């Protein structure tokens, strides 16, 4: 027992800027970093979802509001459609219930602006810290940049304007395939990652959780790959029983 406690303390000291996980307890305590980020599948709000109690609160179709369980109300976030690179700035609304598999609920306006595919609404959510906003407001423009800006058409907007959309275009990939993995957590040491593997195998009916060496100081515990949405969703919902709040879904190259 002492060994486990010391292991947990050691892990917490080594991860000052990352999500921390209490491996020993039945419930996992999540400590969010300032710049919270998460990749996963969102839900595009509609009245049917609300009427069926799948979502506990309403979102106006024209709003730039997002429901996100990990973030406080009024947190500004950058939402990116990972499949095409389009992004915008939105704001977190009040706490809301929504399906475990999804990392958020967004309005129809956000979905349309990002050109999301309803069959694969894969997004990244990035929380914008107050310091980042302050720096953006105070940013200086050199004379050379001013000359270029005066001649160039306006294609993007200030980070402070929640009613406009910043769009980045990327080329579409050929030979598309559906392939995702579930990232459970990253650790500095392989031994710690193996403790997580043991817990998953003991407490959840999930086959073959894996450890991947990302770098000399990062070992990732993950599930997959998954080649269809049904198997991905089932495994994600199964692992959510352990209450790791920042599990991510990562698209494979």
pLDDT digits 0-9 by tens, 157-168: 333 344 444 444
> Edge to edge, what strands does the sheet with 218-226 contain?
210-215, 218-226, 180-187, 248-251
The secondary structure of the chain, three-state, reads: CHHHHHHHHHHHHHCCCCCECCCCCCCCCCECCCCCEEEEEEEECCHHHHHCCCCCCCCCCCCCEEECCCCCCCCEEEEEECCCCCEEEEEECCCCCCCCCCCEEECHHHHHHCCCCCCCCEEEEEECCHHHHHHHHHCCCCHHHHHHHHHCCCCCCCCCCCCCEECCCCCCCCCCCCCEEEEEEEECCHHHHHHHHHHHHHHCCCCCCEEEEEECCEEEEEEEEECCHHHHHHHHHHHHHHCCCCCEEEECC
- What is the pTM for the complete model shown? 0.68
Which residues lie closer than 8 Å to 252 by C-beta, 6 or more apart?
179, 180, 181, 224, 225
User: How many Å from the N-terminal Cα to the C-terminal Cα in the chain?
Assistant: 41
Yes or no: say if 231 and 193 are a contact pair by the CB < 8 Å rule: no
- List 218's β-bridge partners, or say none: 215
CATH code, 37-130+159-166: 2.40.40.10
Q: Which residues pair with 65 in a beta bridge?
A: 91
Q: What is the pLDDT along the chain (253 residues), one digit of tens a residue?
A: 444 444 444 444 344 334 444 444 444 333 334 578 999 999 999 999 999 999 999 999 999 999 999 999 999 999 999 999 999 999 999 999 999 999 999 999 999 999 999 999 999 999 986 554 433 444 443 444 344 334 444 333 333 344 444 444 444 445 668 899 999 989 999 999 999 898 888 888 776 899 999 998 899 999 999 999 999 999 998 888 887 768 999 999 8
pLDDT digits (tens, 9 = 90+) for 52-101: 999 999 999 999 999 999 999 999 999 999 999 999 999 999 999 999 99
- Domain-wise residue ranges, the chain: 37-130+159-166, 178-251
**178-251: CATH number:** 3.30.70.1070
């Amino acid at each position: 027992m002492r060994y486990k406690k010391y292991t947990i303390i050691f892990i917490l000291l080594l991860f000052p800027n990352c999500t921390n996980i209490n491996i020993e307890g039945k419930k996992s305590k999540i400590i969010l970093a300032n710049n919270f980020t998460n990749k996963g599948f969102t839900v595009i709000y509609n009245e049917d979802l609300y009427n069926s109690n799948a979502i506990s609160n309403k979102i106006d179709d024209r709003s730039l509001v997002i429901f996100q369980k990990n973030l406080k109300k009024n947190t500004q976030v950058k939402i990116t459609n990972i499949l095409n690179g389009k992004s915008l700035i939105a704001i977190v609304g009040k706490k809301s219930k929504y399906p475990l598999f999804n990392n958020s609920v967004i309005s129809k306006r956000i979905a349309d602006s990002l050109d999301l595919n309803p069959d694969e609404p894969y997004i990244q959510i990035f929380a914008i810290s107050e310091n980042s906003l302050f720096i953006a407001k105070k940013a200086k423009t050199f004379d050379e940049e001013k000359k270029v800006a005066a001649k160039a058409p306006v294609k993007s907007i200030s980070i402070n304007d929640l009613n406009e959309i910043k769009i980045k275009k990327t080329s579409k990939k050929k030979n598309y395939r559906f392939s995702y993995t579930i990232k459970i957590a990253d650790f500095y040491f392989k031994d710690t990652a193996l403790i997580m593997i043991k817990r998953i195998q003991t407490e959840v009916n999930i086959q073959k959780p894996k450890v991947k060496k990302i770098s000399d100081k990062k070992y990732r515990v993950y599930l997959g790959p998954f080649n269809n949405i049904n198997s991905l969703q089932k495994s994600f919902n199964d692992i959510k029983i352990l209450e790791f709040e920042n599990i991510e879904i990562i698209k494979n190259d």
